[in-house]
Amino acid sequence: MRIKHAYRRLLWPALLTLLSLLLVLTPWLLRDRFGEFESLPQAVTALAYFAAAWLISRIAALALDQAASKRRPYPRLLKDMVAVLLFMVAFIAATSLYLGQGAFGTLAGSGLVLALLGFAIRNVVADTLSGIALGVEGPFRIGDWVDIDALARGKVIEIGWRTTRLLTRDHAYVILPNSQIARQRITNYSAPKPQYRAQVNVTLDHSMPIQQARALLLSALKEAKHIQQDPAPDVRVTAYEEGGITYAIRYWLSRFDRDVDCRDEVFRRVDEALREAGSVAPYRRIAVITGSEAPPVPPLAKAPEAGEVVAETATADPSVEHATDSTPRSGRPAGRLP
């Protein structure tokens, strides 16, 4: 049914192209019917140009639909861009028929007007040109799960001339200008294949050996249903610090939209395995020393009584030693007058 509809779309462009070519190749039919008109052959030729552009654009759209897969169809922007280019060529060719060599002068003279118009709608032009660049480069297609830095993450629903529409995992509809997308880093989780690897980090106590921890974590993921078992998950040590040993649990997903469910299942199964093994996450330890284990505390220095002179520790300064030796023996502190 789809193929029949596609070939039906080619019917009218093909008939118009054949009719216009027939009239171009047999000009005497027009003269016998309408008489001598100077502009009539030019009009028929221009009609043939536009009919050929219409037919070729429909054929190109059909070829893109046949070449694309059901999961990743080509964006509508690419088909529209091919049609616009073909009709632009037909328009230039038809204009040159009527104006002859003056057509190029007319196009050059309109450059100033086009420049002023482009400045007035520069944002629209930037979005459109960015949309054309995205359509040509094809960093993503309809149905792909993409992550656009600082903008959005979701499934591509439509790629237009000015905007691209995404549907997030929370079913929020996001519309982004193409010029903003072109300036950001794009991560495509659906190309070249929908399978990709993710990881979660778990920190365990030093009391559990690394080999035992690796075997425990891998055994916890053997019965996981959301992640892929081929390729099998693996465990790598990423940090050995004072707070514990950090393990990276790496596993493969079949689709990006299952990321949250897979992450939840991995954490749940790891938690169950650790609790069954009697192991817990590392925690801060504080040693409390009581009773006879406490170290002896030195007694406090006795405070001097009234009138008692406390000898101070001598220093290496000779002047200080001299001052200490010259202390009067009357018992009065040095430096006081009698």
**What letter would DSSP give residue 293?**
G
Mean pLDDT across the stretch 252-265?
A: 92
pLDDT tens-place string over residues 264-274: 999 999 999 99
Q: Which backbone phi and psi does 2 adopt, to 5 degrees?
A: -70, -40
- Cα–Cα nearest to 95, from 112, 85, 107, 86: 107
> Would you state the structure tokens that stand for residue 219, as one six-digit string?
């055994």
Q: Which residues contact 338 (CB under 8 A, 6 or more apart)?
A: 330, 332
pLDDT digits (tens, 9 = 90+) for 194-241: 899 999 999 999 889 999 999 999 999 998 999 999 999 999 999 999
The reported pTM is 0.56
Is 90 exceeded by the pLDDT of residue 104?
no
Spell out the residues 6+ positions from residue 94 whose beta carbon is closer than 8 angstroms to its own: 45, 46, 49, 50
**Residue whose C-alpha is closest to residue 57's, from 13, 93, 24:** 13
How far apart CA 320 and CA 325 sit, in angstroms, is 9
Is the pLDDT higher at 263 or at 329? Answer: 263
Neighbour order of strands in the sheet with 196-204: 196-204, 244-253, 234-241
Amino acid at site 154: G
CA distance 84 to 76: 12
Helix (H, G, I), strand (E, B) or coil at 169: coil
Mode of pairing for the β-strands spanning 163-167 and 152-159: antiparallel
Position 143, amino acid: G
Give the rounded percent of residues in the chain with a pLDDT score beyond 90. 32
Mean pLDDT across the stretch 87-96? 84
Which three-class secondary structure state does DSSP give residue 287?
coil
Residue 87 pLDDT level (bands cut at 50, 70, 90): confident
